Amino acid sequence: MYGGTSAEREVSLSSGTAIVSACESLGHEVTSLDPKDGLSNLMAELKSVDVVFNGLHGGDGENGVIPGFLESIGVRYTGSGNEASAICMDKRVSKALVFRKEILTPEWVSLSMEDDVPINHDLGYPLVVKPNSQGSTIGLSIVSDPSQLNEAVALARKYDTVVLMESFVAGREITVTIIGDKAYPIVEIVPSHDLYDYECKYTKGMTEYFCPADLDESLTQSVQETALRIHKLLGCRHYSRVDFRLDSNNKAWFLEVNTLPGMTETSLVPKSAGAAGLSFPELIQTIIDEALKD
């Protein structure tokens, strides 16, 4: 299942195309489903499949609505369940749960649509302003001066009714793939822009990736253990991608969990799996096998 109606539709279409191709190469009979016009038109197809590979990004595919619907009609699917999906999509909730377990995460303030923009705050500058429940850096800004804050919040509010203002952690951008109960090689992301934005994520050649990341063995193990701990703490299953910033003191600061990370040719999970010796079709089969265990 891929496409959908979220702001990440185009990315989902790319992921879905790659997943379909991989499944066909594995010898599976594949039915392509796009819920852009709702799920009611897809009921016959959904009832006939062994497992739905959820390749939706953002929106109802990732916030728990579609996973919950699939559970209600007894259809197996890949990825996290409805509750974990909703928790991870809501960045302020996932950050709060992680913070309570004394895992480092940047300080934050959340704003509803009715809240005034707090010019006076304790987050410092630069800071990150982003929609609370979006991915692919859609609506995200790095604010270096108070004069830019209102505009950044207004942009984020185009995509969500809740906006997150978050302290900016200078350092290296790293991410950890979790599949089953295993943490895979860490990927370091070095974008051509200061920000790993939508263009850098989905345009070939605009970002350098290093996998395994150049970290010593002890730090690698520590970050991987923290990522797996977060994955389990938030109730994720099958696979996820946990994003961090690594500061100048080699402290890893949790940013967010992606329960349905991208599966395009420039995506991070396939890079990590590849460094562990899994081809893209093998990665897809491994995720399907996790779903079939349930």
Q: Which domains does the chain have, with CATH numbers?
A: 9-79 (3.40.50.20), 87-104+170-293 (3.30.470.20), 108-167 (3.30.1490.20)
**Helix 65-72 and helix 82-89, axial crossing angle in degrees, nearest 10:** 180
Residue 172 among the catalytic residues: no
β-strand partners of 77 = 52
**Rounded percentage of the chain residues whose pLDDT exceeds 90:** 84
pLDDT given for residue 136 in this prediction: 56
Amino acid at 162: V
Mean pLDDT computed over 27-35: 95
* Two structure tokens written together for 157: 């509010």
Note whether 179 and 289 are within 8 A (CB): no
pLDDT digits (tens, 9 = 90+) for 78-100: 999 999 999 999 999 999 999 99
Instruction: Tell me if residue 101 falls in helix, strand or coil.
Output: coil
Which of 3, 6, 8, 77 is catalytic? The answer is 8
Which residue among the candidates 2, 159, 198, 202 is catalytic per the annotation?
A: 202
pTM: 0.92
% of the chain beyond a pLDDT of 70: 95
Over residues 66-81, the pLDDT tens digits come to 999 999 999 999 999 9
pLDDT per residue as tens digits for the range 36-53: 988 888 998 998 999 999
pLDDT tens digits for 218-233?
999 999 999 999 999 9
Q: Is the pLDDT of residue 54 over 70?
A: yes
Give the β-pairing of 163-167 and 108-111: antiparallel
Q: Which member of 61, 64, 135, 262 is catalytic?
A: 262
Q: Does 237 score more than 80 pLDDT?
A: yes
User: Is 241 an active-site residue?
Assistant: yes
- Identify the pLDDT of residue 83: 97
Dist CA 124 CA 120 (whole Å)? 9
Q: Give the residue-averaged pLDDT of 109-136.
A: 90
Q: What is the pLDDT of residue 138?
A: 84
Please report the pLDDT score of residue 41 as a whole number: 86
Catalytic residue status for 77: no
Residue 213, pLDDT > 90, answer yes
Q: Is 262 a catalytic residue?
A: yes
Q: What is the reported pLDDT for 120? A: 86
Residues 251-274, mean pLDDT to the nearest whole number: 93
Is the pLDDT assigned to residue 205 strictly greater than 90?
Answer: no
Active site residue 8: yes
Please pick, among 241, 245, 267, 272, the residue that the annotation labels catalytic. 241
Is residue 202 annotated as a catalytic residue, yes or no?
Answer: yes
Asked if pLDDT for residue 11 goes beyond 60, the answer is yes
